[in-house]
C-alpha cells in the first residue's frame, strides 16, 4: 500500500480491479473509494467481489436508502423492495452498518456529495473502523470525490480502469443477442471492421457504447460500418460538452498531400497498430507517441495532422492553448489537466497542437509563470502518458521552443517539412486545379512549375485562387498566362524571409528527418 504526500492511501494497481479490491479488503482497509462514472459497471464488479468473498452485498443511494442487493433482485418488479427505514439519510445508513456489525460489502453511491458534512465524515470513520477488524468494507463509488483531510489516511482510493477491448466485444455480442429476440439482425462487419469498431468505442462508457450500438442496429437492421460513425459522433458530443478541445471531422486524406513521401511511409508502417491493436501488442509494439513537424510555413504541416486522423480512422482533437488560460489562480492548470484527461478518455485519438512554439515559448514571465507550469505538466505527460494518444505538434520557429521539449522520448520522430521540390509543385498545382473543376491537361504545367519555384504549397494554392478571381471578374477562362501573372505578382516567404528559412534549414539538417 502506498500513501501520497497528503497522506491519502492509494492501491498499487494490477490493472485487475477485482484483484485490487480483494487485496485492499484482505489488507483490512475498512473504507475504499472506487472512482468511476459508471455506477452500473461498479455495482456489477462489487457484486462479483462479494460473491468471491462469500459476503452479502448492500447498496445505498440518497433516494433509495440502504438495501440488501439479494433481496432487491429477489423482489424484482413483483413487490415492494425492502430497505432500512429512513436510511436515505447517510448518517442513519452508516450508523446501521456500524450497529449491524455484519461482514458485508456495502456500496455507497454518491456519498462523496455529503462528505463536507462533519457528521457524515465522522460516522464514516467510525463505521470503517469496524471493518479493519474483520471481513467486508464500505465502498464509496462515483466520480471525483474530494475526501476531507481526516478521511484520507483511512480511505484507500482505486480508479476503475475504462472498459477494455474484451468488454466492448462482449457488449457487441450481448447487444446483438438482445436485439435479435425482437427483430431480424444482420452482421455486415469484416474482422478488420470489427476491430475498428471496437477501437472507436473505446473512451465511451459501456452504457454509452450500448446506446450507440443499439441505435446503429435499429436504424439499419444490421451491425455495419455505420456503427463506427455513430461512435465517433458520440465522442464528438462529449468533446463539445467539455469545451476545451476542438473536434475536427475526418476530411483530408493522404492523397490530398503532395510529396512528403518520407512522412507517409513512416505513418503507413504504424497503421497496423490501429487496425490490429491486439496483434501489435502480442508482437511487443506499443501505441506510437507522436511526431513533431517542423518546417516552413504553408508547406502542409497542419494538413498532415488532419490526414493522419483520416487515414487511421481516428478522431482528431485540436488543443488550442489559448482556450486554457483563465484569470483565476490555478484554473489554467486545471483546464489543461481536464483537456488531457478528456483526450485520454477518448483514446485512441490524434491530438493536434498547431504552432506549439506560440503556446510554450521560452521566456514569458509576464503571465506569472502559468505558461511554464503548464509546459512542465505537458512535458511530464508527453513522457509518461498511458492513453493511446498520438500527438501531432507543428512548429515554424524552433528557436522559440525550449531544448527539453525536442529531446528524444517526447516524440517518436521530428520531421522537417521543406519547400516543395519540382515534382511536389507539379502535384500541388494539379490537386488545386482539379479541386476547382479545372483539367490540368489544359495548362502548361511544366512552365507553371518553373514559375513557382520557391513557393510553399499554401502560396501555390493562393495563386490559383487569385487567378480564378481575376478571370471571373473579367468574365474570361482560366489560362496558363493568367496563372503565370498571379504567380509573378506573389513574393514568397522564401524571398521575404530568406535568412530565417536558411537558418531553419541549417538547424534541421543534422537534427531532423526529412519528410520529403
SS (H, E, C) 245-297: EEEECCCCCHHHCCCCHHHHHHHHHCCHHHHCHHHHHHCCCCCCCEEEEEECC
- Helix, strand, coil percentages for the chain (3-state, nearest 5): 50, 15, 35
CA of 292: how far to CAs of 200, 313, 340, 413, in Å?
25, 20, 18, 7
DSSP-derived secondary structure for 455-503: --HHHHHHHHHHHHHHHHHHT----HHHHHHHHHH---HHHHTHHHHHH
Start-to-end CA span in the chain (Å):
51
Rounded Cα distance between 508 and 415, Å, is: 9
- DSSP 3-state of 317: strand
Q: What is the mean pLDDT of residues 228-240?
A: 84
Find, among 269, 264, 342, 272, the residue nearest to 300 by Cα: 264
Distance CA 418, CA 141 (A): 53
Integer Cα distance of 86 and 89 in angstroms: 6
Whether pLDDT at 363 is above 60 = no
pLDDT of residue 242: 74
Q: Which of 157-166, 273-282, 472-481 has the highest mean pLDDT?
A: 472-481
Which element (helix H / strand E) includes 393? strand 389-395
Q: Residue 504 pairs with which residues in a beta bridge?
A: none
Q: Is the pLDDT of residue 6 over 60?
A: no
Tens of pLDDT, residue by residue over 366-420, are 555 667 777 777 888 887 777 788 888 888 777 777 777 777 777 888 888 888 8
Residue 365 binned pLDDT confidence (cut-offs 50, 70, 90) = low
Task: Cell 452498518: give the residue.
Answer: 97
Asked if the model's pLDDT at residue 4 lies above 50, the reply is no
Which three cell numbers mark 224?
455495419
| Grid cell at residue 414 | 521530428
C-alpha cell at 58: 448492500
Residue 34 — φ and ψ, nearest 5°? -105, 105
Please give the helix or strand (H or E) that residue 137 lies within, else none.
strand 137-142
Q: From CA 261, how far away is CA 132, in angstroms rounded?
A: 63
Least confident segment among 184-188, 214-218, 300-304: 300-304
**49: helix, coil or strand?**
helix
What is the C-alpha separation between 273 and 267, in angstroms, rounded? 11
Count the residues in the chain. Answer: 516
Task: Report pLDDT for 250.
Answer: 64
Which residues does residue 213 pair with via DSSP β-bridges, in sequence order? none
Tens-digit pLDDT profile for residues 114-141: 999 999 999 999 999 988 888 889 999 9
166 pLDDT more than 90: no
Segment 421-444 mean pLDDT: 89
Average pLDDT, the chain: 83
Question: Given this model, what pLDDT does residue 381 score?
Answer: 82
Q: What is the dihedral of CA 36, 38, 40, 41, to 10 degrees?
A: -70
| DSSP state letter for 31 | E
Single out the residue of 173, 167, 178 nearest to residue 204, CA to CA: 167
Per DSSP, the three-state class of 223 is: strand
% the chain with pLDDT above 70: 89
Q: Is 231 exposed, middle or buried (0-12, 13-18, 19+ CB in 10 A)?
A: buried
Q: In the sheet that 513-514 helps form, which strands lie side by side, from edge to edge?
A: 245-248, 316-319, 349-353, 389-395, 290-295, 413-417, 513-514
Pick the most confident of 230-244, 288-302, 409-423, 425-439: 425-439
Q: What is the arithmetic mean of pLDDT over 409-437?
A: 87
pLDDT of 98 over the 80 cut:
yes
> pLDDT confidence of 59, banded at 50, 70, 90?
very high
Q: Please check the confidence at residue 361 and state whether its pLDDT lies above 70.
A: no
Q: Which of 212-216, 306-310, 326-330, 377-381 has the highest mean pLDDT?
A: 212-216
pLDDT digits 0-9 by tens, 464-492: 999 999 989 999 999 999 999 989 998 88
Spatial neighbors of 234 by CB under 8 A, at least 6 apart, are: 204, 208, 211, 212
Find residue 184's DSSP bridge partners.
none
Grid coordinates belonging to 269: 508502417
Q: Quick one: pLDDT band at residue 332, thresholds 50, 70, 90?
A: confident
Q: Do 138 and 131 meet the contact criterion of CB atoms below 8 Å apart?
A: yes
Model confidence over 27-56: pLDDT tens digits?
899 999 999 888 888 999 999 999 999 999
Report yes or no: 161 and 17 within 8 Å, Cβ to Cβ.
yes
Amino acid at each position: 500500500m502506498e500513501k501520497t504526500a497528503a497522506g491519502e492511501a492509494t492501491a498499487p494497481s494490477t490493472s485487475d480491479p477485482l484483484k485490487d479490491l480483494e487485496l485492499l479488503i484482505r489488507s483490512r482497509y475498512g473504507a475504499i473509494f472506487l472512482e468511476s462514472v459508471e455506477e452500473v459497471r461498479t455495482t456489477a464488479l462489487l457484486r462479483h467481489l462479494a460473491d468471491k468473498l462469500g459476503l452479502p452485498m448492500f447498496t445505498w443511494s440518497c433516494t433509495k436508502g440502504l438495501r440488501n442487493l439479494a433481496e432487491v433482485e429477489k423482489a424484482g418488479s413483483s413487490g415492494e423492495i425492502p430497505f432500512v427505514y429512513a436510511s436515505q439519510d447517510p448518517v442513519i445508513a452508516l450508523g446501521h452498518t456500524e450497529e449491524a456489525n455484519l461482514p458485508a460489502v456495502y456500496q455507497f453511491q454518491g456519498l462523496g456529495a455529503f462528505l463536507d458534512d462533519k457528521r457524515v465524515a465522522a460516522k464514516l470513520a467510525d463505521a470503517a473502523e469496524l471493518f479493519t477488524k474483520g471481513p467486508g468494507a464500505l465502498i464509496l463509488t462515483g466520480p471525483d470525490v474530494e475526501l476531507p483531510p481526516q478521511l484520507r489516511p483511512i480511505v484507500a482510493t482505486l480508479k476503475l480502469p475504462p472498459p477494455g477491448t474484451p468488454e466492448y466485444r462482449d457488449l457487441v455480442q450481448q447487444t446483438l443477442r438482445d436485439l435479435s429476440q425482437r427483430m431480424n439482425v444482420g452482421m455486415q462487419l469484416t474482422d478488420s471492421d470489427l476491430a475498428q469498431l471496437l477501437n472507436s468505442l473505446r473512451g465511451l462508457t459501456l452504457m454509452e457504447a450500448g446506446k450507440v450500438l443499439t441505435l446503429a442496429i435499429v436504424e439499419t437492421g444490421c451491425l455495419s460500418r455505420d456503427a463506427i460513425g455513430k461512435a465517433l459522433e458520440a465522442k464528438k458530443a462529449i468533446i463539445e460538452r467539455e469545451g476545451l478541445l476542438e473536434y475536427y471531422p475526418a476530411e483530408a486524406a493522404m492523397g490530398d498531400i503532395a510529396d512528403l513521401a518520407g512522412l507517409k511511409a513512416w505513418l503507413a508502417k504504424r497503421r497496423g497498430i490501429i487496425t490490429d491493436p491486439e496483434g501489435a501488442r502480442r508482437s511487443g509494439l506499443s501505441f506510437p507517441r507522436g511526431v513533431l513537424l517542423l518546417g516552413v510555413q504553408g508547406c502542409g504541416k497542419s494538413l498532415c495532422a488532419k490526414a493522419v486522423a483520416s487515414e487511421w480512422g481516428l478522431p482528431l482533437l485540436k488543443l488550442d492553448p489559448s482556450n486554457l488560460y483563465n484569470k483565476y489562480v490555478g484554473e489554467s492548470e486545471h483546464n489543461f489537466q481536464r483537456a488531457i484527461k478528456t483526450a485520454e478518455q477518448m483514446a485512441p485519438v490524434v491530438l493536434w497542437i498547431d504552432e506549439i512554439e506560440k503556446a510554450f515559448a521560452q521566456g514569458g514571465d509576464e503571465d506569472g509563470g502559468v505558461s511554464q507550469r503548464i509546459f512542465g505538466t505537458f512535458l511530464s505527460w508527453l513522457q509518461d502518458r498511458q492513453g493511446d494518444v498520438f500527438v501531432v505538434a507543428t512548429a515554424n520557429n524552433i528557436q522559440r521552443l525550449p531544448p527539453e521539449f525536442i529531446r528524444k522520448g517526447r516524440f517518436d520522430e521530428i520531421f522537417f517539412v521543406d519547400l516543395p521540390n519540382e515534382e511536389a509543385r507539379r502535384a500541388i498545382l494539379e490537386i488545386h486545379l482539379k479541386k476547382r473543376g479545372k483539367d490540368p491537361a489544359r495548362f502548361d504545367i511544366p512552365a507553371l512549375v518553373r514559375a513557382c519555384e520557391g513557393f510553399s504549397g499554401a502560396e501555390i494554392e493562393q495563386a490559383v485562387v487569385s487567378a480564378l478571381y481575376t478571370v471571373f471578374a473579367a468574365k474570361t477562362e482560366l489560362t496558363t498566362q493568367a496563372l503565370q501573372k498571379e504567380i509573378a505578382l506573389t513574393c514568397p516567404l522564401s524571398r521575404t524571409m530568406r535568412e530565417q528559412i536558411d537558418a531553419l534549414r541549417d538547424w534541421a539538417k543534422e537534427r531532423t528527418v526529412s519528410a520529403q
